Structure 1
Amino acid sequence: MKKVICECGHENPYGTELCESCGKPLKDQGKGLVNMRYEGAARRSQTYSKTIVDKIWNFFSSVKVGIWIIVLTLLASSLGTIFPQEMFIPPGERASIYYREEYGTAGQLFYQLGFHNLYSSWWYMLLVAALGTSIIVASIDRFFPLHRALKTQRVSRHPGFMQRQRLYSRTAADDGAKEKIRLAKDTLKKKRYNVREENGNLLAEKGRFSRWGPYVNHIGLIIFLIGATLRLFPEMYLDDHIWVREGQTVEVKGTGGEYSVRNEEFLIEFYDDEDERFINNPQQASAVAKTYQTTVTLLQQSSETIGAGAEPEEVQEYAIRVNDPLSFEGFSLYQVDFKLNELSEFTFAVEPEDGSDNEMFSETIDVNLYDPEVFYELDNGFTVEILEYFPNYVFENNEPGTVNRIPDNPRLIVEITPPGEDEGEMSMIGIQVNNPFSEENEYRLRMVDFDTNHVSALAVRRDRTIPILIAGGIIFMIGLVQGSYWHHRRMWIQERDGELMLAGHANKNWNALKKDFDWLSEQTGLPKPEDQAEEETTGQRDEGVNSNNDNAGTDKQ
C-alpha cells in the first residue's frame, strides 16, 4: 500500500488520518472535530486485512474481542469457586469419592466436568493465553503508531488541524501579538509546561507521560499472567502435603530425596470446659483443638549420597505449629491437619475354630498395617500368609478394593497352613470380622491386641512466582496511577497571515485545560478559546427547538 504524501512533504503510512508532521487532515475534509484518537496515526489492524496473519492480528487487536475474552475468563474462573478445588480438599481424600459424598450429584458433576482442577485445565490456560495475546497485540497495534505520531509532531500546525480542535479561537493579530506570545512562553513554563518554539509559534505540552499509562498497565498484566502460568511448573510452584506418623521419616516432596522429616512427637491441646468461649456449650470445648504441633527433625542427604544408602544428616529440630512453618531452601512445611489414634498394628493368635484352649496356640504375630509382611512362620509349626491386604476396605462392583493406603478399615485375606500340611485354610479378617472361606476350616486368626499412632499432615509449599506476581502488580499499579491521575494537555499558539490562532487538546479532563487557558488569558491578554463541542451541541439543540416551533406554527395554521 502506497504511503500518503502530505503537502508539507512528509510521507505518512497508508491509513493515516492526520499528517504526522504538520497535522493536516488527510481524510474527511468536511466540518466537525478532527479525530485525535491515537493522533490519527495509521494502525496495522486498520490497514492490512488480506493474509491469515492480518486476520489473526486484527482479531486480537479488537477491544471488543479483548472484553469478551475477559468476560469468558471471569465466568470460567467463577465456575471453579462453586466447590473447593482438589488442592483444598482434606489431605488423603480421593476426589472421585469426596465430591460425590460431600456435595451429592452437583459435586459429582463438578468432578466429572473437570472443574475440580479447573485452573490448570488446558481450556482455561487457553483462555489465559488468549487474554495475554489480546493484551500484547492490542498494545503493539496502538503503542508504536502513537509513539511515532507524538515524536514527529511539529510546533507549527496546519490551519485545518487548528480550527478542527475542540478548543479553538481565531482573532485578528494586533501589534502586541508577538509580545503576548513571548509572554505566554514564559508564563506557561512557570506552569510547568514543556514549551517549544518554531517561527514565533508555540507548542506547550504537559503530561505526555500519562499517555503511556495504559501500556505500562498492560506490561504489568502480562508479567502477572506469566507469573500465574509459571505456577503450573513444579520447579516454580509446589503445594502438596505429606502424612508423617510419630517415629516415621518421610521424604519432603519436591526436594528430589535431598530432604526428609522425622516426626518426633505430635502434641495437641483442647479447650477446658470452663473456658469463657464455650460458656454456653461447655461440652463442645473438649472437642475443639486449642493448639496442635508437630516436633520434627529435618534431615538432609547430600546429592552425592542420595540412593547410596548413607545416613542423612540432621539439620535442625523444629516445632511446627499452625501459621508457624518450618522454612528451608525455599520450602515451607505447614501444620494443616492431624489424625489421632490411627490403627498401626494388629496382634493375632492362631486358634482352633471351636475356641478350645491349648498352649500350642499361645504364640502371636504382629502385623504392621503400614507395610505388612507377606509370610509369617510360628514356632509351633503354623504358617500365615497374607494373600491380599486392603488398608481402607470397600466393596464396589462386586469386587473388594481400597479407598486409599490409610488403615482406616483394614481387611486381610490370609491363608493358615497347619504344620505338616501342604494346603492352607483361607479367611478374611478385620475389625470384628473373621469370615472363613470354607465351613470346613479348623483354624482361625483371632485378634488379641492392636496399637495406634498419631499422624500429622504437613503442607509442603514452595512458591518462586511470588516476586514475579509482586513485580507485575506493582507495575500494573504504576500504570494505573500514571494514566488516572495525570492527563496529556497541549496548547498551540500561532500567528499566521495576520491572524492569531489558539487551539488546545486534552486526552481527558478538559476542564483542567480550560482553566489553564483562562489563567493564560488573565496573565497575557490572549483570547480564550471556545469549546466547539459545546457549540455543536447547542446548535443541534437550537435547530431542534426551531424545528419544533415551525411544526407548532404549522399546526396552528
Structure 2
Amino acid sequence: MEKIICACGHENPFGTKLCEKCGRPLTEEVKNQKVLDMRYDGIAIRSKTRNKSIVDKIWNFFSSVKVGVSLIFINLVAASIGTIFPQEFYVNVATEAEREIYYEETYGSLGKLYYTLGLSDVYSSWWFQILVGLLGISIIIASLDRGIPLHRSLKNQRVKRHESFMKRQRVVAEGPVTAGDSAKTLDLVEEQMKKLKYNVRREGNAILAERGRFARYGPYINHVGLIVFLLGVMLRLLPGFYVDESMWVREGDIRTIPGMDGYFIENEKFILELHDNEKTEAQIQQGVNAVAKNYQTNVKLYKQPDDALPGQTDNLELVKEYSIRVNHPLKHEGYSLYQMDFRLNELKGMNFALTKKETGEELGDVSIDLTNPQKEYVIDDQTKVELLGYYPDFSGFKNGEPQTATSNPNNPAFIFKMTTPEKPDGEVSFVAIKETVEPNGDNVYKMSFKGIETRNMSGLTVHKDRTIPILIVGGIIFMLGVAIGSYWNHRRIWVEQLQDGTIRLAAHTNKNWFSIKKDLTAITEVAHLPQFIDQVEKENNEDGQKEKEGDSTL
C-alpha cells in the first residue's frame, strides 16, 4: 500500500490520519473535525486499512470490538448454563450410571436432558474450551492491532506540532503574554511543569509536557491479565496440570487412585464420632438428626514399582500412613486427598445355609463375598451350590429377566443351583431379600438366610491444581490494569512561542479533564499565559444558548 506523504515531507503508513511528525490532518474526514479524535493519536491500525487476503479477513474479524463483546457474552451464557444444576464434581456418586440416575431422580426429565447433553460437566467440555480459546484469540489480536501502533506513536512523539494540530485540540489558548518578560515565559512554563511532576521536553521555542503516559496501557495490561487467566483455564485440560476426581474405598480394600498414576490407597478403617452419643449409626441412616464431631479415614498410601504393570498390586511400597479428616487432607507430590463423604454399614457379605425344607436339616454353610462372589461353593463331594446369577442392586424383572440398578450391593439377589445327593441334577432358586422364587416348582432344598457382614465406605476426592498460581498471576495483572486505567490519566500539554511573542497552547488528556484544567490554571497564573478555552464546553454552551433563544421566540 502506498504511503501518505505529508506537506512536511514525512512518509506516513497507509491509513494514518494525523501526520506522525507534525500532526497535520491527512484525510478529509479529520480535516472537517473541529476537535480531533485523539483516541489512537491518528495512527494507522491494521484492521482499518487491510482487507484483501484471508489472513486480513481473519485478523479483522477477531480484532472487532463487536466480535469480542459477543464472545464475552457467549462465554458468560455458557458458564451460566453450568450453574442450572450442580456439576458432576459436586455429585457424590461412584459411577457414570449412578450419575445419570441421580440427575433424573433428583431433577426429573430436565435433569436427565441436562446430563445427556453433557451440561453436567460444562467447564471441562471441548466446546466450552473452544469458546474460551476464541475469546483469548480475540483479546490477543485486538491488543496487538491497537496496542503496538499506539505504543510506537507515543514513543515517537514530536515536541513541535503544526498549527492545525494545536488548534484542533479540545483545550487551546493563543495570544500574547499578559504580564512579565515574554522572553522568560517558556522558562517559567518549564519550571512549573516540572513542579507538577510532568516530564518536559523542549526544542527551541516549543515545549511538550507529559504525565501519566503509562495510563494508556491500562486496557492492554487488562488484556494480558485476561490472556494469562484464560491460559490457566485451558491448561486444566492438559495431563498433570489439573486433577479433580472422586473415588469410593471400602474398609479393607486397596484401590488405584484416579488421576494419580502409580499410586494406591488402602482404607484401613473409617471412624465416625458424634456429639450426641445416644444416637446410633442405624438412626443416622434413617435420617435422625445427629451432629458429627469427627469423621475420618485411616489410610495407607502405596506406590507401585516402576517396572510393575498398570493395576498390579504386588510389591507395593508404603509411602505414608495418614488419618484423612475434614479439612485435613493427605498431601503428596502436589496431590491432595480430601474426606468428602461416607456410607455406613454397606453390605459386605451374606451367609446362607443349604437347608432341607421338610426337616430343617442344614447340609452346610455358604458365605458370599458381595464384592467378589465365587461361581461355585463346594460343601462336600456330592453337595455344592452354584451361583448362576448375581444382581448387586436388584431392581425388578424386565421381560422375565432380573435387573440390577447399580454395581453396589444395596439390594443383592441371587440365582442359585443347589446340587445334593437327593437332587443330583440340581434345583434352581431365585433368592432376594424377603423374596424367593422357585421357577421349577417346589424345591426340596432352599438357601436359608443366616446373617450379613457389613463395612463402611469412604468417599474421597483427589485434587491437584497447578494452574492456581497462573490464575492468581492473571488476576493480579488484570486488577493492576484496572487500577491503572481507572485512577491515572495521560496528560499532554504543548506550548509554543511564535516569533512575534504570541503563545500557542494545546492540551489533551484521555480522561479527567478537570485535572488537566487545574494544571493549566496553575501554569497560566505563573507564566502569565493567555486564558485557555475548552472548545467542547464552549460549543455545548452556544448550542444551549441557541435552544433557549429558540424557546423564547416561540
Would you call these one fold, judging by a TM-score over 0.5?
yes
1:26 Cα offset (Å): 1.0
The percentage of aligned residue pairs carrying the same residue is 46
Cα offset, 1:60, TM superposition: 1.6
The secondary structure found in structure 2 opposite 1:260 is strand
How far apart in 1 are the matches of 2:22 and 2:49?
22
SS in 1 for 2:318: strand
Partner of 2:344: 340
| Alpha-carbon offset, residue 396 of structure 1 | 7.1
Partner of residue 518, structure 2: 515
Q: Structure 1, residues 193-247: CA drift from partner, whole Å, max 9, x if none?
A: 1111112210000111111111111111011111111222342111112212222
1:545 equivalent in structure 2: 548
Of residues 205, 208, 223, the one that matches 1:203 is 208
1:185 to 187, 190, 198: 190
- 2:79 corresponds, among 58, 77, 80, to 77
- Per-residue CA deviation, residues 497-535 of structure 1 (Å, 9 max, x unaligned), is 423111110011111111111111222222342111101
Q: Which residue of 2 aligns with 1:134?
A: 138
Q: Which residue in the other structure is 2:486 paired with?
A: 484
CA distance, structure 2, for counterparts of residue 9 and residue 81 of structure 1: 61
Find the aligned partners of 1:357 and 1:371 in 2 and give their Cα distance.
29
Amino acid at match of 2:25: P
Closer/same/farther in 2, CA of residues 480 and 496 from structure 1, 3 Å limit: same
Q: Per the alignment, do residues 507 and 446 of structure 1 end up closer, same or farther by CA in structure 2, a change over 3 Å counting?
A: same
CA distance in structure 1 between the partners assigned to 2:526 and 2:305 by the alignment: 78
Structure 1, gaps ≥5 residues long: 276-282, 553-557
Deviation at 1:409, TM superposition (A): 1.1
- Structure 2: how far apart are the matches of 1:146 and 1:162? 20
1:549 Cα offset (Å):
4.2
Q: Which amino acid letter does the alignment assign opposite residue 516 of structure 2?
A: L
Q: Tell me the residue number matched to 1:400.
A: 402
* Paired position in structure 2 for 1:67: 69
- Alpha-carbon distance in 2 for matches of 1:305, 1:58: 54
- Give distance in 2, aligned partners of 1:42 and 1:371: 74
1:194-233 to structure 2, matched below 5 A, reads: 194-233=199-238
Alpha-carbon distance between aligned partners in 1 of 2:274 and 2:110, rounded to the nearest angstrom: 36
Q: Answer with 7-16 or 420-429: which moved more.
A: 420-429
Question: What is the deviation of 1:341?
Answer: 0.6
Distance apart, 1:309 and its partner CA:
5.8
CA separation of 1:195 and 1:69: change in aligned 2, threshold 3 A? same
- How far did 1:290 drift? 2.6
Change beyond 3 A, Cα 1:536–1:378? same
**Corresponding position of 2:392:** 391
Local SS of the residue matching 2:41: helix
TM superposition shift of 1:284? 8.1
Q: State the 1:121 CA deviation.
A: 2.5
Displacement, 1:255? 2.2
Q: How far did residue 386 of structure 1 move?
A: 1.8
Q: Is the 8 A contact 2:93 2:99 kept in 1?
A: no
Q: Which moved more, 1:336-345 or 1:476-485?
A: 476-485
SS in 1 for 2:169: coil
Task: Give, in angstroms, the shift of residue 190 of structure 1.
Answer: 2.0
Contact 1:272–1:286 (CA under 8 A) maintained in structure 2: no
Structure 2 counterparts to residues 39-118 of structure 1, below 5 A: 39-92=41-94, 94-118=98-122
Corresponding residue for residue 444 of structure 1: 446
Corresponding residue of 1:369 = 370
Which residue is equivalent to 1:33? 35
Residue in 1 aligned with 2:466?
Answer: 464
Any idea what the Cα deviations from partners look like across 1:371-429, whole Å, max 9, x if unmatched? 11112211262222222222122247545333332111112222222349764332222
Query: Does 212-221 or 50-59 show the bigger shift?
Result: 50-59
Give yes or no for the alignment of 1:506 onto 2:509.
Answer: yes
- Looking at structure 2, the residues matched to 443 and 315 of structure 1 have their Cα atoms a distance apart, in angstroms, of 51
Once the 2 structures are TM-superposed, how far is the Cα of residue 51 of structure 1 from its aligned partner?
Answer: 2.7
What residue number does 1:2 align with?
Answer: 2
Tell me the CA shift for residue 310 of structure 1: 4.0
Amino acid at match of 1:518: T
> SS in structure 2 opposite 1:15?
coil
| Aligned residue among 154, 179, 183 for 1:150 | 154
Specify which of 296, 299, 304 is matched with residue 301 of structure 1: 304
**Structure 2 equivalent of residue 280 of structure 1:** none
Q: Distance in 2 between matches of 1:202 and 1:254?
A: 64
Q: Judge conservation of contact 1:271–1:285 (CA < 8 Å) in 2.
A: no
Rounded Cα–Cα distance in structure 2 between residues aligned with 1:145 and 1:355 = 99
Q: Distance in 1 between matches of 2:232 and 2:255?
A: 30
Q: Helix, strand or coil for the counterpart of 1:161? A: helix
Deviations 1:311-364 (A, max 9, x none): 222222211111111101111110101111100001111123x34233xx3411
Mapped to 2, the partners of 1:528 and 1:106 lie a distance apart of: 70
* Partner SS state of residue 347, structure 2: strand
Once structures 1 and 2 are overlaid, which stretch shifts more, 9-18 or 155-164?
9-18
The residue matched to 2:380 in structure 1 has which SS? coil
Contact 1:374–1:387, Cα closer than 8 Å, also in 2: yes
Cα pair 2:304 2:313 within 8 Å, conserved: no
**Cα offset, 1:186, TM superposition:** 1.9
Cα RMSD, aligned residues only? 2.3
Contact 1:25/1:160 (CA < 8 Å) preserved in 2? yes
The letter for the 2-side match of 1:72 is I
Paired amino acid for 1:201: A
Deviant stretches of 4+, over 6 Å: none
Contact kept in structure 2, 1:273 and 1:286, CA below 8 Å: no
Deviation at 1:56, TM superposition (A): 2.2
Partners in 2 of 1:243 and 1:326 — Cα distance?
A: 15
Report the equivalent of 1:19.
19
Instruction: Tell whether 2:253 aligns with 1:248.
Output: yes
| Amino acid paired to 2:215 | S
Aligned to 2:382: 381
2: CA distance, partners of 1:178 / 1:49: 52
1:442-496: CA deviations, max 9, x gaps?
Answer: 3222221210001111111111111111111111111111211111110100113
Within 1, Cα distance between the matches of 2:505 and 2:260?
A: 70
Distance 1:467 1:527 in 2: 55
Q: Match of 1:512, as an amino acid?
A: S
1:258-273 matches, within 5 Å, as 259-272=263-276
Match in the other structure for 2:282: none
What letter matches 1:150 in structure 2? Answer: L
* C-alpha distance in 1 between matches for 2:256 and 2:324: 16
Q: What is the alpha-carbon distance in structure 2 between the residues aligned to residue 285 and residue 412 of structure 1? A: 32
C-alpha distance in 1, partners of 2:403/2:85?
27
Counterparts of 2:423 and 2:274, CA distance in 1: 54
Encode CA deviations 1:4-49: one digit per residue, 9 max, x unaligned.
Answer: 1112222111111111121111123235101111111111111112
CA distance in 2, matches of 1:133, 1:219: 12
The 3-state SS of whatever aligns with 2:40 is helix
1:267 and 1:493 map into 2 onto residues whose CA distance is: 80
Moved more, 327-336 or 100-109: 100-109
